[in-house]
């Protein structure tokens, strides 16, 4: 029995969650099927067209991406760069595909999701640059995609939330494509691992301090200071002014909880309109238990925020 006061609808699932041990990445990659069984099959409603594209990255790398297009809609649609999670070292488009489908269907947005490079084979800045190149591609092809260039958002969960925050910072500092909204769900933002929740939650389900330590070790391996750690770990950014409005969500029993709350507070203090949600009784990734009422509320809250921001 867990020592944490986890929501009763979530507790039966704890026994089915495999232990995430990032000390051996070969084992982690081999466990993909164990993780996949936790994720319900993707449900694609009628009216969503899916196709693969190849995006040329800034360093010449060809990025595989998927485009999710709502059909039968009049006028220009919003655009959304959806970035999957996985601690910078795991995951792919298919594993997290339901999120992209839901945004396309629920917000009527053209969603582009990149299969960005993963650490440790490809440490920072490779994955972040792939995500930023995807934003540039979406903006450059807005007319062909039927996208309103004034309604482009970026978002994702966990490492995808951290990468989304990094993309927003890069777009501001490089005078890149305008972003109207950033969605940072349970984001991984701070490599310093100094918050109270990061110190306390060493054995929480699915994600904990030991996993976070390895995640950042792999992602930042060989990273020189000149590359700008504030883009890898957005919590390090000293100036958060001029960033797009944000939606930030955190889970109660998640080592990433406090860094998400602090980042949201700092965005507000910098004059960035920000909506912050904390969900009682949840743990990192508990939204995978889609039938739980708290998970339904989490999904409804973020979709409502996306619709409002992109309307």
- The yes-or-no answer on residue 158 being catalytic is yes
| Residue in the block written with tokens 């990032």 | 22
Options 113, 284, 286, 295, the catalytic residue: 284
Q: Compute the 3-state secondary structure of the chain and give helix, strand, coil in percent, each to the nearest 5.
A: 40, 20, 40
DSSP sequence for 127-183: HHHHHHHHHHHHHHTHHHHTEEEEEEEEEEETHHHHHHHHHHHHHHHTT-S--SEEE
Q: Are 254 and 225 in contact (CB under 8 A)?
A: no
- The tokens of 88 are what? 């910078």
Options 254, 258, 286, 295, the catalytic residue: 254
Options 84, 113, 115, 158, the catalytic residue: 158
- The yes-or-no answer on residue 221 being catalytic is no
DSSP 288: G
Q: Are 131 and 83 in contact (CB under 8 A)?
A: yes
- The yes-or-no answer on residue 37 being catalytic is no
Strand order in the sheet with 181-185: 48-56, 62-70, 110-114, 77-83, 147-157, 181-185, 246-253, 274-283
**How do 181-185 and 147-157 pair as beta strands?**
parallel
Contacts with 41 (C-beta within 8 Å, 6 or more apart), sequence order: none
Which secondary-structure segment (H or E) carries 286? none
Catalytic residues, by residue number, are 158, 254, 284
């Amino acid at each position: 029995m867990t020592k944490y006061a986890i929501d009763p609808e979530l507790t039966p699932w704890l026994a089915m969650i495999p232990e995430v041990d990032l000390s051996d990445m070969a084992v982690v990659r081999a466990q993909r099927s164990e993780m996949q069984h936790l994720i319900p099959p993707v449900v694609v409603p009628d009216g969503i067209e899916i196709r693969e594209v190849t995006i040329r990255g800034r360093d010449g790398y060809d990025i595989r991406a998927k485009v999710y297009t709502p059909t039968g809609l009049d006028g220009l649609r919003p655009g959304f760069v959806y970035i999957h999670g996985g601690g910078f070292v795991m995951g792919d488009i298919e594993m997290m595909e339901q999120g992209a489908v839901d945004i396309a269907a629920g917000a009527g947005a053209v969603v582009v999701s990149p299969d960005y490079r993963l650490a440790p084979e490809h440490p920072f800045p490779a994955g972040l640059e792939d995500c930023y190149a995807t934003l540039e591609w979406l903006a450059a092809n807005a007319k062909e995609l039927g996208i309103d260039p004034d309604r482009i958002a970026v978002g994702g969960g966990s490492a995808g939330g951290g990468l989304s925050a990094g993309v927003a910072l890069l777009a501001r500092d490089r005078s890149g494509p305008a972003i109207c909204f950033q969605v940072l769900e349970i984001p991984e933002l701070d490599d310093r691992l100094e918050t109270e929740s990061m110190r306390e939650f060493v054995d929480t389900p699915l994600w904990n301090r030991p996993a976070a330590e390895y995640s950042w070790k792999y992602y930042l391996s060989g990273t020189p200071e000149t590359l700008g750690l504030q883009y890898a770990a957005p919590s390090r950014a000293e100036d958060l002014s001029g960033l797009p409005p944000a939606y930030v969500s955190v889970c109660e029993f998640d080592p990433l909880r406090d860094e998400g709350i602090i980042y949201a507070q700092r965005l507000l203090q910098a004059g960035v309109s920000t909506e912050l949600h904390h969900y009682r009784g949840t743990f990192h990734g508990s939204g995978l238990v889609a039938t739980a009422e708290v998970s339904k509320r989490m999904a409804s809250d973020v979709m409502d925020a996306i619709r409002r921001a992109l309307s």
